[in-house]
Every structure is written in C-alpha cells, then in structure tokens.
Amino acid sequence: MSRLYKITVLGLVLFSVLSVFISIPEESVYRTAADEGTYFFYATSVSKYGLSMIPEIGRVFVEREHLRLQPNPLRVGHILAISSWFKIFPQTYVSLACFSFLCFVLFLVVCFFFSRRLFGEDVAYVFTLFLSSSPLLMAMGRRALSDTHGDLFCGLAVWLFLDFLHNRKNAVYGLFLIAYSLAILARESSFVVWPFFVFGFIAWKYIYKNNVSLSYLAGIIFIPAVIVGTAYVFLFGGIKTSIDLLKTLFVTHADASRQVSRFAIMYCSGPWYRYLIDFIILSPVTILLFLAFAGHKVLVRDMDWPVAYFLGYFIMMLAFFGSLENSKEIRILINLDMVVMLFSALCLWELFRFKKSEMSVHFVLIASVSVFFVNYVNFTELFYYRDIYDPISYALLWAKKIVP
C-alpha cells in the first residue's frame, strides 16, 4: 500500500472527525424533553448526590409508568460514565455531546486496530474510512445520547471475541467478558448479543473443527450475567428494584398486550426490512456493496470464518430486533453499521482484484474516496441542514422528500 494512499485516507478520516466535532449543537438546541434531557438529569443527579441517587432513580422509574418511554436506568454504566464526566467537565448538554464524540473516535480506533490485525492493512484503511463517514455514526457522535457509548463496548466485545477464537489467549478472553459486561451496562439492548456469542463458540468448535475447551463456553454463559447482575443489585440497592426494572424493559418492548404509545405505533412499527430501507437512505452505496458481497459469499459457498462470523452477527441482530413490533429504530442497530462498512471494504477489494496490485490500489482508492463523499454529503444533508434528531424511518424519508 502506497504512502499516498495512507495519507489520503488519514486526512479524510480526520476531516470527518473534525466535522463531527465542529457540528456539535449549541446548548439551546438539545431536546430537553426527550432522551437527552433524561440523560442530563441522570448525570447531574448522580454527580451531585452520589451513588445513593441511583436506587431512587430506579424506584421512581418503576412507579411512574409514563417515564418508561424514556431511557431505562438499567443503562447504569452510561449513567456512571457521564456523571463521572461531569465531575471533570462542565455540566452542560454540549459536554454530554462531547462524551459521545469521544466514544465515536475511540470506536474508530478500536475498529481500525482489530480489522488491521484480522483482515490486513489494506482492508482496515478502507473500512475505517467508511466508518468515519457513516451518517448514522457521525450523527450520534454529536448528540447527548448513549448510542456511541454502547456502540463502542458492543463493537469492542464483538472484535475481542473473534480475536479470542483465533488466538485463544486467556487475557483476550478476560477482556472480552469485561467489555461485553460493560456493553450491557451501557445499553441494556446489548444482552441480545449473548446468544450470538454462544452459537458462535459452538460453530467455531464443532462446525469449523477447532479444539477449544468448553469451560470457555460456560464463562460466556455465566460470567457476564454475574457481573451485570451484581452491578444491578449493588447500585439499585437490592434485588427487588433490579427485577422490577427488568420487568419494565420486557413490558415496554416485548409485551404485545401493553398499551403502546402513539409515537411508537406511528413511527416505530412496521416490517423487519424497514431497517434495510433506513440503511439505504443513510448509506446507499455501502449497503449495496454489503448486500453484493454477502450475497456473493453465500451463493458461491466461499465463506471463511471471519466473514461467516460477522454475517451471522448481522442476521441474528436483524432477526431479533426486526421481530419487535413497536420498537424498530435504526439507532438500536447502530453496531451493524460496523458490519456494513467492513463488508463494503471487502467488496471493493474483491471487485478491483487485478494481477497488478498497484492498479488495484488506485481503483480502490478512487472508489473508496467517492463512497466517503457520498456518505459525508448524506450526513450534512440529513443531520446538519435538515437537523434530524432521531433518525426514524419517517424523518429520513421526509428529508429525502419521499413522503410529505
């Protein structure tokens, strides 16, 4: 890979990162009555009164049903992180957005490090370039929300697990368990990844015929549950509040008999494939490259383990969250952007695989830079000029003038 290629990619990534930072909204712009206001309340309360405030937040959330439309206090890892952030930085919405920005940058670093290690330098540079220009990631990296925090640790856990299966190092296994536990504590929806890790381990051992001890599987099943459960019981002051909060989570997302909010019925329901439509609106070229690469690998039955691993992750997450009747928001699948961008990068290298490697690099560079600017323009249009706060399907379709 030429030095010019690396410098070009690095420059564009820095340009994208800087664009996110300078586009962080002013203090008066934040949605104080929405999720941003809830996180701000959680952070300021815990920062001011200490850990003793967390059981009270949990109790009030359980008792007042109307609060269940707001972020669940089970995201206690995020609450602790942003309350600690407020100990160092000003207690403002802009400061909270800066925390999201930091998580966005760290996520890029994590993805570059592991993709370079597992897929090679050529793929890593294109992959990171695409990730840095993802409209969804860039948008969440400038808001006072928990999405990039959860995305960081969920992505880290997914990469660490793949790395562990390849190298079987106990240190990596331990880091994986910690990262996954922190992912659940940051955003409770990350618990859905647990079956994927279980089936991924089984597939690696029995389908791909690798000699790995079943004791690791027991750790995957029990250790994150013990860590997260202990944290809940300790922070919420007992088992009762913790169980009650878990019940509210089930009632909000999985109980078909519950009284659903008007907003959820109108804007968060629909078929499973609405997620794919959202991805097409947000990143049209990369999602098409993703579908082309995944479809090609399935049809020709030429799929090595890392590709099968990430494709299985994408399908499992899409299947689960696509089955939720009134909770379909693209933000909840933000971590799948990682898979889309990775497969897009792999697809470009497959498309431009020539005998002369130097020619391949030139074509990939031109194509990847073009895709970068398509994504970047989409970000500026949807989230800067149109000022979309929550990228639900209707808002995206409205911004593209597809619906009135």
Predicted confidence (pLDDT) per residue in 57-93, tens digit: 999 999 988 787 889 999 999 999 999 999 999 999 9
> Residue 262: what pLDDT?
73
How would residue 1 be classed by pLDDT, with cut points 50, 70 and 90? low
Picking from 167-171, 225-229, 321-325, which range would have the lowest pLDDT averaged per residue?
321-325
Q: Is residue 77 part of a domain?
A: yes
Q: Is residue 158 part of a domain?
A: yes
Q: What is the pLDDT of residues 270-317, one digit of tens each?
A: 899 999 999 999 999 999 999 999 999 999 888 899 999 999 999 999
What is the token pair recorded at 204? 């690696």
281 within 8 A of 398, measured Cβ to Cβ: no
Q: What is the pLDDT of residues 16-52, one digit of tens each?
A: 999 999 999 999 999 998 999 999 999 999 999 999 9
Kindly report the pTM of this predicted structure: 0.95
How would residue 396 be classed by pLDDT, with cut points 50, 70 and 90? very high
> Residue 106: what pLDDT?
98
- Per this entry, what is the length of the chain? 404
> Residue 303: what pLDDT?
87
- How many other CB atoms are found less than 10 A from the CB of residue 117? 15
Give percent of the chain with pLDDT exceeding 90: 84
> Residue 3: what pLDDT?
86
How would residue 377 be classed by pLDDT, with cut points 50, 70 and 90? very high
Give the contacts of 2 (CB within 8 A, at least 6 positions apart).
Answer: 358, 361
Q: Is residue 65 part of a domain?
A: yes
Query: What average pLDDT does this structure show over 211-225?
Result: 95
How would residue 248 be classed by pLDDT, with cut points 50, 70 and 90? confident
> Residue 269: what pLDDT?
87
**Whole-angstrom distance, CA of residue 35 vs CA of residue 210:** 45
- How many other CB atoms are found less than 10 A from the CB of residue 260? 16
Q: Is residue 404 part of a domain?
A: no
> Residue 286: what pLDDT?
97
**Whole-angstrom distance, CA of residue 290 vs CA of residue 292:** 5
Q: What is the pLDDT of residues 147-157, one digit of tens each?
A: 999 999 999 99
Q: What is the pLDDT of residues 230-241, one digit of tens each?
A: 999 999 999 999
Q: Is residue 272 part of a domain?
A: yes
Q: What is the pLDDT of residues 115-134, one digit of tens each?
A: 999 999 999 999 999 999 99
> Residue 41: what pLDDT?
97
Which one, of 233, 227, 235, 204, lies nearest residue 217 by Cα? Answer: 204
Q: What is the pLDDT of residues 318-360, one digit of tens each?
A: 999 999 887 899 999 999 999 999 999 999 999 988 656 777 8
Query: What average pLDDT does this structure show over 365-386?
Result: 96
> Residue 253: what pLDDT?
64
> Residue 355: what pLDDT?
56
Helix H or strand E segment including 44: helix 35-49
What is the token pair recorded at 355? 């005998």
157 within 8 A of 180, measured Cβ to Cβ: yes
> Residue 264: what pLDDT?
77
329 within 8 A of 392, measured Cβ to Cβ: yes
What is the token pair recorded at 130? 């695409």
Count of domains in the chain? 1
**Whole-angstrom distance, CA of residue 219 vs CA of residue 198:** 10
Flag whether pLDDT at 254 surpasses 70. Answer: no
**Residues of the domain holding 30:** 3-399
> Residue 131: what pLDDT?
98
